[in-house]
Amino acid sequence: MRRRNFIVGLASTTATWPLAARAQQRPDRVRRVGILFGGFSDSDPELKARVAAFKRQLQELNWIEGRNVHIDLRFGRGDKDRLRANAQELIGLMPDVITANSAPAVLELARQTKVIPIVFANVFDPIGSGLVASLAQPGGNITGFSSFEPAMVGKWLELLKEIAPSVTRVTAMFDRDISSDAQFAQTAERLAPSLNLQYVAAPVSNAADIQEAIDASVRQSNCGLVVTGGTITAANREAIVQLAAQHRVPAIYANRYYVTSGGLLSYGVDGVDLFRRAGTYVDLILRGTKPPDLPVQTPTKFELVINLKTAKSLDLNVPDKLLATADEVIE
């Protein structure tokens, strides 16, 4: 298994904030927690829901904002330069721990500090991304909660075929710069033939790539779309959903928020629940537990969400069996 070779070398002054200095501070001082999002903006309902769940969990563990903990929130909106600057700003505030949403956010923090504890939530493949040495023994200053199980890839393809049986060609859209997304694509390519699906990879890094990928997919008949939960796709989800509707392309997504925005269906981890669970690790770290002693946890809660209005607009009859197994049906 690969270790995090990207953080080897000299760290900046802020990144090497001495642990001894932290130890000398009063035990009853107000603790500082940073939160860094990669693909959401401050007005995004999904960001607000995740942060609210995180804060509620901390409150249940007796960390009260404004009394004994201060929380700093930063977000990247899918912009690499903004993400880099916000990571640097958070580290400069010398927090006790930083919680990060998505692999790009964690990777950027890891490039800038190997001292401040980092708890991630919603990272597809923390080992493949080079963030941890192993799930059981993450090593270094990073641990958290992954958002992916390999079986999810096959489930996406099966569900897409079940709700849209006429689909014979599937385009898999994923973030070009996220290594775990590339691994997802390879798995999808391997599994597609077993479902009589022709596979097309569509790596994207900006809105123009997304437009081009969907335009290219609809040049062939009976096409479908699978969209992962990467930073670029999340930041452009409204455009993706609108383009899929415009071209009448059945699409399955990794996250519920695509479906609440008008997407057809989603299957994946409950992102709000992941962020809530991240609060439990932040609590342990604030009380003295070291990140290497906290194993990376894999998903325990999945949800299937179907948008019936979108299905009707695509002239799709959703099977009763699929409706019965859905966790949420949007009408």
Topology of 151-269+303-330 in CATH? Answer: Rossmann fold (3.40.50)
Sign of CA pseudo-dihedral 111, 115, 116, 120: positive
pLDDT digits (tens, 9 = 90+) for 191-213: 999 999 999 999 999 999 999 99
- 198-236 exposure pattern, b = at least 16 Cβ within 10 A, e = fewer: ebbebbbbeeebbeebbeebbeeeebbbbbbbbbbbbbb
Q: What amino acid is encoded at 42 in this protein?
A: D
Return the structure tokens found at 131: 């963030």
- The domain segmentation of the chain, as residue ranges, is 5-147+271-300, 151-269+303-330
pLDDT digits (tens, 9 = 90+) for 62-117: 999 999 999 999 988 778 899 999 999 999 999 999 999 988 899 999 999 999 99
Whether pTM > 0.95 for this model: the answer is: no
Domain made up of 5-147+271-300: CATH architecture = 3-Layer(aba) Sandwich (3.40)
In this prediction, residue 28 has a pLDDT band, given cuts at 50, 70 and 90, of: low
| 5-147+271-300 and 151-269+303-330 agree in CATH topology | yes
Return the structure tokens found at 174: 């994923």
| Residues 38, 134 contacting (CB under 8 angstroms) | no
pLDDT digits (tens, 9 = 90+) for 210-246: 999 999 888 888 999 999 877 888 889 999 999 999 9
The per-residue pLDDT for 16 is 39
pLDDT digits (tens, 9 = 90+) for 144-173: 999 877 778 899 999 999 999 999 999 999
Picking from 119, 108, 116, 110, the residue whose alpha carbon sits closest to that of residue 4 is: 110
